[in-house]
Amino acid sequence: METQMGYLPYIQVILAVLLAALILLQRSEAGLGAGFGSEGFSASRFERRGFEKRLFQMTVVVATLFVISTLLPLLLT
């Protein structure tokens, strides 16, 4: 068990870098004007297709794995 916990910081660093890269690869369709309400709301604007959908799903999976790896030492002690 101790040897597995020794690898945990390395796994967390890899997951953190991967999560940051996946977040930065996502395209932002909301500009500064959208924060102030200048753009109209459109449901089709938030629809993801193809690679964008897969990228979003991978981001959710990596974020979930990162949270689990962060909480794992608390659960095992």
**Is 17 part of a structural domain of the chain?**
yes
**SS3 state of residue 42:** coil
Amino acid 16: pLDDT: 97
In a domain, 64, yes or no: yes
Number of domains in the chain: 1
22 within a domain of the structure (yes/no) = yes
> Is 65 contained in some domain?
yes
Query: Consecutive 10-residue runs of the chain (77 residues): their mean pLDDT?
Result: 79 96 82 54 67 93 96 86
Residue 73's pLDDT is what?
Answer: 87
What was the pLDDT predicted at 55? 93
The pTM of this model reads 0.72
Q: What is the pLDDT of residue 61?
A: 97
Domain that holds residue 56: 2-26+47-76
Q: Which burial class, exposed, middle or buried, applies to 57 when counting CB atoms under 10 A from its CB (0-12, 13-18, 19+)?
A: exposed
